[in-house]
Structure 1
Amino acid sequence: MSEKIRLEPSETLIQSVSQLYKALGDPTRLKILTALTVSELNVGAISEKIGLEQSAVSHQLRVLRTNHLVKSRKEGKTVYYSLDDDHVMAILADTFEHVSHAVEDCQEPS
């Protein structure tokens, strides 16, 4: 049996969580994050993988970095992106699992 957790977040924390979910609410950003679950990638590789122009990918990566969802490292002139930490992977996995269950529930015959 799972315990209920009582949350009493501050207004600042609520605003930050809201911003995080706004960042996650864009299909392109979700595609980028999903691509980064496999390995770190540069902008060109992400662009190729999700079928979007590099400039658009760069813009979305900026949003993801601002929200601490991805991090970058530079190797020579190339910048590689990866998920910021294990929490991001957990958020994605939990979200996709939750939505998958919700979709399955909606598809069951009445």
Structure 2
Amino acid sequence: MTDQPSSPAVACSLGAGMQGQVDRWRSLLEGAEPEVVDGGLQYLLPIALVESAARVAADEQACCPFFAFDLALRGEMFVLAMRTPPEGASMLAEITGQLPHTG
């Protein structure tokens, strides 16, 4: 019998620092229009924000490992995709201010 890796629990381990992390996301995404993608949202952002986006996403991954983040460079812009299992949709809505349609 082979052990299958389990999916991370849909829970945040950040506790009291949660609002600070939400504020970082909201600041990063301010003015950006989300596009609904399968399982989440994606944003087209200026390349000048790519380092900040990578830091915020890495910090989020540390406390909420069920989220998946992808960065794709597009010249002067980059795409930040944020995905979650259906149970995490409300948490993604909390950090982005937008409700994703999960599939």
TM bucket (normalised to shorter chain) is 0.3 to 0.5
Looking at secondary structure, tell me which structure has more helix per residue: 1
Task: State the structure with more CA Rg.
Answer: 1
Looking at secondary structure, tell me which structure has more strand per residue: 2
Query: TM-score, normalising length from structure 2?
Result: 0.41
Query: TM-score, normalising length from structure 1?
Result: 0.39
